[in-house]
Structure 1
Amino acid sequence: MIKWVKNVTVIATSAVLLSGCSVFSSDEDVVVMAELPVFEATYKPQIAWSTSIGDGVDKYYSQLQPAVDDDAVYVAARDGEVAAFSIKKGKELWSIDLSDHNSNEFNRSARISGGIGLDFDTLYVGTENAQVFAIDKEKGEIKWVSEVNGEVIAQPVYDSGLVVIHTSRGDLIALDGDTGEQRWALPNAQPRLTLRSSATPSIAQGGVIYGRADGYVSAALLETGQPLWQLPAARAYGATELDRIADADMKPVIVNGTVYALAYNGNLVAIDLLKGEQLWAKPYSGYNDISVAGRDIYLTDYRGYVFSINRSNGEQNWSNKQLAYRNLTGVTIANDFIVVGDAEGYLHWIDRETGQFVAQQELDSDGLYIEPVATSTHLYLQTRSGDLIAIEKPILNVE
């Protein structure tokens, strides 16, 4: 059975796990996970240090990802632990368990599911218990807790004194960064059947840009929540509700006034940020975050294919289909390479120019579920079982 793919949620009724197994009681796989690629490695990644954070996210769906600044790496586990580690050696600086907070007295655990968001001096994490916590990043002390209307399973995003939350109900909510008080809310209607996730918003030029479960990419004014524009990246079609799932379920990337976004059962689109006009659209379907570097976009689609695409016109540079149905993460840029993780715990290193494999690391047999966070010198990766691993980035080839 193929594991660790996104859930599908039937609003107010039940949840179905999308996997390689048939939903009609057959034990045979509909799709087959590709065998681990075999090749001659031309690069050897080096692990700088590793540590752990509780039990990680275990078997649950999660979008938890480390946050990094010049001093520390901040990481959270689903059961409630949040910790900071020194960026150079991985030494624990502080830790706190949000399950011990009185707001979680009657909950099974903190069930942290969204984060970590980071501003100058504060961390923001969201929970399936419909809470947002603000934590002092130096002391590890809770500043405030706010209840919101819906699970917070996307990363909170901070800008200009506001913390923007995209809930599982589809609502976009802005909280005051100092107090946690709600400043505005923008409701969005949800389809009956959606992927079990919410798109992390992006903020640029005074606007909040976000993907919606109905396949639209939308923009709202950061200060007030007033809608600015919306554009479909996917349109629902098909004979069944499952066929008609059309989430724009990844964090939009904004470069030089252009928004790039990807939708499940839809397209990769380029949109003019200020006008909300489509510049081009290409038929790619996926739900993981994409990356942009130089002139190119890098993405993984729902099948586990990896693509390099020219961001000026959407034309494909190359594709790599050797990781099919290995339930890949999104893509992280590592100088001349890109990296993607898979559900068996391997991190795959691919040449940005050719699409060929250059290295492979087995990091966690329980699997990788989120792409690494990159700094100028390292990649920081959180594994499903809770390992936090710092990997040295290769030296940039400047020839």
Structure 2
Amino acid sequence: MIKWVKNITVIASSALILSGCSLFSGEEDVVKMAELPEFEATYEPEIDWTASIGDGVDKYFSQLKPAVDNDAVYIAARGGEVKALSIEDGDTLWSIDLSDQEANTLNRSARLSGGIGLGGQTLYIGTENAQVFAIDAENGEVKWMTEVSGEVLAQPVYDSGFVVVHTSRGDLIALDSTTGEKVWNLNNAQPKLTLRGTSTPTISQGGIVYGRADGYISVALLENGRPLWQIAAARAYGATELARLADADMQPVVVNGIVYALAYNGNLVAIDLLKGQQLWFQKYAGYTDISVSGLDIFLTDYRGYVYALNQSDGEQRWVNKELSYRNLTGVTVANDFIVVGDAEGYLHWIDRETGQFVAQQDLDSDGLYQAPVATSTHLYLQTRSGDVIAIEKPILNVE
């Protein structure tokens, strides 16, 4: 069977991009996008407010998504615009354009790609120009800019005075959050062929958990970058470089000292964070972020199948195959439901207990590319064209 691949990059030379409704038009062996499912809706999501940010990310690969605190929703466009919006009504609180920065004078654009990270009243955004910007969350002033070794496609992560960046070259870099100065650098070897994208790190109990392009889940000390352990979520095998793709691009989830991670062409694994011991694995393969909620794990695989699994052992509870090859986002939990977006701009609402559709929203024909960000009351998402949408979460059923 031919696997649908989001984006593939040959390091340092060329790029091969496979996307759309089929892999090879004109051939018999094609992967076709599923038709939009039809059903009788039992829930009606309500949009609270909408706003916009430049031209969004257009058709480029991007991991930009909103960041939210108690007062504002922070958003960014690939071209360089960054905004703070009122969390109440979406009105603009401040706006800047990083393409105006001196560091981008000779660049085609700011090419924002990784972020937005939020910590210590500061926004952290990475770029394809191998830069990391720190921006004051209160007024939009640039605090510092640091150049790093490679594109920053993943969200920078803040913790305890450090900003941790995972670059396209596989380097894990810690920056001083106040000055932007490099504190340490951990180099990781890269395969010749990788999916375009990089795992956003997760920081927990003094360790940085991250996925690598060679299929390993690794942990390093936040204080000094010393590697602690690594476990393979995927093993490279096959006759060609394409067949041996094994990236672990999703952001690992840590719950109660257990790491949950997924790899392309590999497995879903559960690992004891402190011991570095694999507890179980199941044969699921994908590259989008998973969600862990209650006793459940929710994920979408490379085919666009949506799953609910038991957190204790990874055993499957249900699978929904009706969105196959619609280029799904990761899963976001919305109380009694879960939501996933697709490349045609639909947000699909699914009952978390049964796997059945309950609602469907047509939000932007240019498409959705990142899972919505959830707070206790809302979902916030950004479309490819730069629309920003605040959707009310359903009231939790406590019966």
Letter aligned with residue 339 of structure 1: V
Question: Counterparts in 2 of 1:58-207, with a 5 A limit?
Answer: 58-207=58-207
Question: Counterparts in 2 of 1:320-335, with a 5 A limit?
Answer: 320-335=320-335
Give the secondary-structure state (helix, strand or coil) at the position aligned to 2:184.
strand
Question: Counterparts in 2 of 1:347-362, with a 5 A limit?
Answer: 347-362=347-362
Give the Å deviation of 1:30: 1.2
Give the Å deviation of 1:100: 0.1
Aligned counterparts of 2:364 and 2:22: Cα–Cα separation in 1: 23
Give the Å deviation of 1:21: 3.9
Question: Counterparts in 2 of 1:264-283, with a 5 A limit?
Answer: 264-283=264-283
Give the secondary-structure state (helix, strand or coil) at the position aligned to 1:41.
coil
> 1:95-123: CA deviations, max 9, x gaps?
00000000000001000000000012100
Letter aligned with residue 216 of structure 1: Y
Aligned counterparts of 1:76 and 1:89: Cα–Cα separation in 2: 18
Instruction: Kindly indicate whether the alpha-carbon contact (under 8 Å) linking 1:202 and 1:253 is maintained by their aligned counterparts in 2.
Output: yes
Are residue 219 (structure 1) and residue 226 (structure 2) matched? no
Aligned counterparts of 1:88 and 1:374: Cα–Cα separation in 2: 15
Are residue 290 (structure 1) and residue 290 (structure 2) matched? yes
> 1:271-325: CA deviations, max 9, x gaps?
0000111000000000000000000000000000000000101100000000000
Taking structure 1 as reference, are residues 28 and 126 closer, same or farther at Cα in structure 2, changes over 3 Å only? farther
Letter aligned with residue 159 of structure 2: D
Give the secondary-structure state (helix, strand or coil) at the position aligned to 2:99.
helix
Give the Å deviation of 1:5: 6.1
> 1:176-207: CA deviations, max 9, x gaps?
00000000000000000000000000000000
Aligned counterparts of 1:29 and 1:102: Cα–Cα separation in 2: 50
Aligned-pair RMSD on alpha carbons? 1.1
Match of 2:247 in 1: 247
Question: Counterparts in 2 of 1:9-20, with a 5 A limit?
Answer: 9-19=9-19, 20=21
Aligned counterparts of 1:279 and 1:183: Cα–Cα separation in 2: 33
Give the secondary-structure state (helix, strand or coil) at the position aligned to 1:103.
helix
Q: Which runs of 5 or more structure 1 residues have no equivalent in the other structure? A: none
Taking structure 1 as reference, are residues 144 and 192 closer, same or farther at Cα in structure 2, changes over 3 Å only? same
Match of 1:346 in 2: 346
Give the Å deviation of 1:29: 6.7
Give the Å deviation of 1:239: 1.6
Match of 1:263 in 2: 263
Aligned counterparts of 1:8 and 1:216: Cα–Cα separation in 2: 18
Taking structure 1 as reference, are residues 35 and 29 closer, same or farther at Cα in structure 2, changes over 3 Å only? farther
Letter aligned with residue 45 of structure 1: P
Aligned counterparts of 1:291 and 1:377: Cα–Cα separation in 2: 17
Instruction: Kindly indicate whether the alpha-carbon contact (under 8 Å) linking 2:22 and 2:33 is maintained by their aligned counterparts in 1.
Output: no
Matched positions, count: 395
Match of 2:390 in 1: 390
Match of 1:375 in 2: 375
Letter aligned with residue 81 of structure 2: E
Letter aligned with residue 80 of structure 1: G
Taking structure 1 as reference, are residues 8 and 398 closer, same or farther at Cα in structure 2, changes over 3 Å only? same
Aligned counterparts of 1:106 and 1:5: Cα–Cα separation in 2: 33
TM-score by length of 1: 0.98
Instruction: Kindly indicate whether the alpha-carbon contact (under 8 Å) linking 1:307 and 1:316 is maintained by their aligned counterparts in 2.
Output: yes
Aligned counterparts of 1:37 and 1:21: Cα–Cα separation in 2: 19
Aligned counterparts of 1:117 and 1:22: Cα–Cα separation in 2: 34
Give the Å deviation of 1:27: 5.9
Instruction: Kindly indicate whether the alpha-carbon contact (under 8 Å) linking 2:258 and 2:273 is maintained by their aligned counterparts in 1.
Output: yes
Aligned counterparts of 2:263 and 2:339: Cα–Cα separation in 1: 21
Aligned counterparts of 1:51 and 1:118: Cα–Cα separation in 2: 20
Taking structure 1 as reference, are residues 62 and 28 closer, same or farther at Cα in structure 2, changes over 3 Å only? farther
Instruction: Kindly indicate whether the alpha-carbon contact (under 8 Å) linking 2:342 and 2:368 is maintained by their aligned counterparts in 1.
Output: yes
Instruction: Kindly indicate whether the alpha-carbon contact (under 8 Å) linking 2:46 and 2:392 is maintained by their aligned counterparts in 1.
Output: yes
Instruction: Kindly indicate whether the alpha-carbon contact (under 8 Å) linking 2:23 and 2:31 is maintained by their aligned counterparts in 1.
Output: no
> 1:27-81: CA deviations, max 9, x gaps?
6671110000000000000000001000000010000010000000000000000
Letter aligned with residue 198 of structure 2: S
Instruction: Kindly indicate whether the alpha-carbon contact (under 8 Å) linking 2:248 and 2:287 is maintained by their aligned counterparts in 1.
Output: yes
Match of 1:366 in 2: 366
* Farther-moved stretch of structure 1 (181-190 vs 4-13): 4-13
Match of 2:299 in 1: 299
> 1:241-292: CA deviations, max 9, x gaps?
1010000110000000000000000000000000111000000000000000
Aligned counterparts of 1:169 and 1:138: Cα–Cα separation in 2: 33
Give the Å deviation of 1:13: 1.6
Aligned counterparts of 2:231 and 2:12: Cα–Cα separation in 1: 27
Letter aligned with residue 167 of structure 1: T
Aligned counterparts of 2:102 and 2:156: Cα–Cα separation in 1: 22
* Farther-moved stretch of structure 1 (301-310 vs 26-35): 26-35
> 1:323-349: CA deviations, max 9, x gaps?
000000000000000000000000000
Instruction: Kindly indicate whether the alpha-carbon contact (under 8 Å) linking 2:131 and 2:145 is maintained by their aligned counterparts in 1.
Output: yes
Letter aligned with residue 189 of structure 2: A
Give the Å deviation of 1:6: 2.2
Aligned counterparts of 1:366 and 1:379: Cα–Cα separation in 2: 19
Give the Å deviation of 1:22: 4.0
Instruction: Kindly indicate whether the alpha-carbon contact (under 8 Å) linking 1:22 and 1:28 is maintained by their aligned counterparts in 2.
Output: no
TM-score by length of 2: 0.98
Aligned counterparts of 2:68 and 2:109: Cα–Cα separation in 1: 25
Q: Which runs of 5 or more structure 2 residues have no equivalent in the other structure? A: none
